[in-house]
Amino acid sequence: MKSKILLVQAISMEGLDIERVYPIGIVTLGTLLKRSGRYDVKIFDMNMAANPYAELKTQIAETEPDVIGISLRNLDPLGNRTTSLIVPFAMTVRFIHQFAPDTPLMAGGTAFTLFPERLMNDFHEITCGIVGEAEKNAVPLVDALTAHDTLPDLPGVIRRDGEGLRFNPPDGSFNMADYRMIDRDLLSPVDYLKVNKYVESIGVETKRGCCFHCGYCEYPKISGRCMRLRDPLAVVDEIAYLKEKYGVTRIHLTDSIVNVPTNHLDTICEELLRRGLDIHWSGFFREDTLTRENTKLYAESGCESFSLSPDGLCQKHLDMLDKHLTVDQILDAARVLADTGVIAVYHFLVNVPGETRETVEEAKKLIDAIYGIHAGTKSLGTIVLNLIRIMPGTKIERLALEDGVITPETDLLYPVYHDPPATRTSRYELEVYHQTRNIAMWNGFDLPDPMK
Ligand code: B12
């Protein structure tokens, strides 16, 4: 007889009006367990439930699981907000323990991966966890949980050992050439197709890992620095299947950076065109590999929004953030993107280490230049200005400690932003500056020359 596994996607957002995301991580885990042939898997996404805690109780009662898994995707909503998603996670863990006190509870997901030891120490209800990807360790771990054996010390597994913890760091060694399309029948994408206004709720992976070293970023910690690629044709097979089986026509390619290496994305787009797959897609792009030819290819193959995260609003900031990018490269990319007519959205960071009156004025020049370039085709979706969420182990954490923005006692599990008081208002000044231009662009207002 098969053992029963209940997988729970913890609350990933604040409020109900926020854009939802199909939980590809937990569905990947469910697929691995189901394909082992030893498990019946049920997935419950609390984000789609009208009354998530009551429905969780019902799910546990109906399933009577042998093991429960909980996925924590997000720590907090970012975007300068101070709400913590650890709060609903804590409540969920406690409810699970109350309704299924003897059932082993296994945790995982991107946010769990960022604070595994801390979360295991804070929440004793969690039996064990997987840090990073689950492809090579989930089945042996669940086998041991169901057999009541000692848990295996495989890379990525964190478990209790008496009063302490044993943690074998992940090695990111899963070869993405071996990736098999996940079993979305475990959680139908159909319910996710009508819930959002902007974001493509259905994600497809084309690769894992990120080779860049941006000073604030945790992506390499989550999936490694080596970019591991899926077969581009298999990616298109998956997109075609999603369209045919579930009617999915809008897809987010979930890679850290979708257009590096460039030829990988180019092959995917050429194949989308060759098969005449009429779908819309988006992803996060790096600026310095965008050309007139490849942006045209991306647009023709269905790219409906170019998301960019140049981050630095002036050269000094770009260098400090280790972006290995120049202001000119950002503007060159803006020009080729604007010519496609497809919406571009730029994400920048404000009040970063080294913010001064001069950097704020430089930032205004870059904002003007971007608006100027996109004005003709009205292709600037928006500019998003965020503070840096300080994460452990990053260059920004080190600088924030040196500058006294945080102290060694500052608890980074909960949202802490780099926002030194002396330059705190630069964010609002730049927000007014860009929003005024945004409204003028979309409504055709004339603006006085900002330089006068
Ligand atoms: C793609 C992406 C998006 C896309 C999603 C589009 C879509 N339709 O899917 C967009 C741009 C919309 C987005 C939005 C947001 N995102 Co986002 N996103 C990502 C990104 C780049 C990839 C996530 C992904 O799909 N990975 C692929 C899957 C297969 O991997 P996985 O989830 O890690 O799952 C594996 C393992 O974790 C494990 N696993 C997963 N669950 C479980 C459970 C158990 C029990 C076990 C054992 C194992 C396990 O097994 C899986 C297979 O190996 C990550 C960063 C990254 N590099 O991971 C950020 C990331 C997850 N996002 C993040 C955040 C914060 C957000 C937003 C709140 C940002 C915002 N303000 O809008 C929103 C929230 C949206 C929502 N409703 O949840 C943060 C979360 C950490 C944090 N700081 O809180 C990350 C880590 C980025 C960051 N800034 O550091 N995101």
User: Tell me: the pLDDT tens digits for 33-53?
Assistant: 999 999 999 999 999 999 999
Interatomic CA distance for residues 311 and 443, integer angstroms: 27
> pLDDT (tens digit, 9 = 90+) per residue, 161-193?
999 999 999 999 999 999 999 999 999 999 999
Compute how many other C-beta atoms are within 10 angstroms of the C-beta atom of residue 69: 29
Band (pLDDT 50/70/90 cuts) for residue 17 is: low
Contact indicator for 13, 51 with CB cutoff of 8 Å: no
DSSP string of 136-171, one letter each residue: TTHHHHHHHHHHTPPPP--TTEEEEETTEEEE----
Q: What percent of the chain has pLDDT over 90?
A: 94
The predicted model gives 82-106 an average pLDDT of 98
> pLDDT (tens digit, 9 = 90+) per residue, 19-36?
999 999 999 999 999 999
CA-derived radius of gyration, the chain: 23
List residues near ligand 1 (CB under 6 A): 12-13, 19-22, 24-26, 28-29, 69-71, 73-79, 106-111, 113, 130, 133-135, 138, 199-203, 205, 218-219, 222-223, 252, 254, 256, 389
Band (pLDDT 50/70/90 cuts) for residue 15 is: confident
- How many Cα atoms occupy the beta-carbon half-sphere of 173 within 13 Å? 8
Query: Cα of 440 to ligand 1 centre, how many Å?
Result: 34
The predicted model gives 402-423 an average pLDDT of 97
pLDDT at residue 217 tops 70: yes
Contact indicator for 5, 31 with CB cutoff of 8 Å: no
pLDDT at residue 421 tops 70: yes
Query: Cα of 402 to ligand 1 centre, how many Å?
Result: 30
pLDDT at residue 86 tops 80: yes
The predicted model gives 71-99 an average pLDDT of 97
The predicted model gives 332-350 an average pLDDT of 98
Q: For strand 280-285 and strand 250-253, is the pairing parallel, antiparallel, or unpaired?
A: parallel
Query: Cα of 73 to ligand 1 centre, how many Å?
Result: 5
- pLDDT attached to residue 347: 98
Query: Cα of 322 to ligand 1 centre, how many Å?
Result: 23
Pocket test for ligand 1, best of 76, 83, 110 (most atoms within 8 A of CB): 110
- CA quadruple 319, 374, 309, 415: dihedral sign: positive
Query: Cα of 86 to ligand 1 centre, how many Å?
Result: 15
Nearest CA to ligand 1 atom 67: 77
Phi, psi of 386 (to 5 degrees): -125, 150
Band (pLDDT 50/70/90 cuts) for residue 450 is: low
Phi, psi of 39 (to 5 degrees): -130, 140
Compute how many other C-beta atoms are within 10 angstroms of the C-beta atom of residue 254: 19
The predicted model gives 294-321 an average pLDDT of 98
Compute how many other C-beta atoms are within 10 angstroms of the C-beta atom of residue 244: 10
Indicate left, alpha or beta for 156 from its phi (over 0: left) and psi (-120 to 50: alpha): left
- pLDDT attached to residue 92: 98
Interatomic CA distance for residues 30 and 35, integer angstroms: 9
* Ligand 1, atom nearest to 205 Cα: 27
Element (H, E) at 208: strand 207-208
The predicted model gives 361-386 an average pLDDT of 96
pLDDT at residue 298 tops 60: yes
Q: What percent of the chain has pLDDT over 70?
A: 98
pLDDT at residue 452 tops 50: no
The predicted model gives 267-295 an average pLDDT of 98
Pocket test for ligand 1, best of 17, 74, 81 (most atoms within 8 A of CB): 74
Nearest CA to ligand 1 atom 27: 25
The predicted model gives 286-296 an average pLDDT of 98
Interatomic CA distance for residues 176 and 162, integer angstroms: 36
Nearest CA to ligand 1 atom 4: 254
- C-alpha torsion 229→232→234→239, nearest 10: 110
- pLDDT attached to residue 445: 80
The pTM of this model reads 0.97
Band (pLDDT 50/70/90 cuts) for residue 139 is: very high
Which of 385, 390, 372 lies closest to 425, judged by CA?
385
Query: Cα of 25 to ligand 1 centre, how many Å?
Result: 8
Phi, psi of 346 (to 5 degrees): -110, 130
Query: Cα of 268 to ligand 1 centre, how many Å?
Result: 22
- CA quadruple 431, 432, 438, 439: dihedral sign: positive
Query: Cα of 110 to ligand 1 centre, how many Å?
Result: 6
The predicted model gives 340-346 an average pLDDT of 98
Q: Residue 375 carries which DSSP code?
A: H
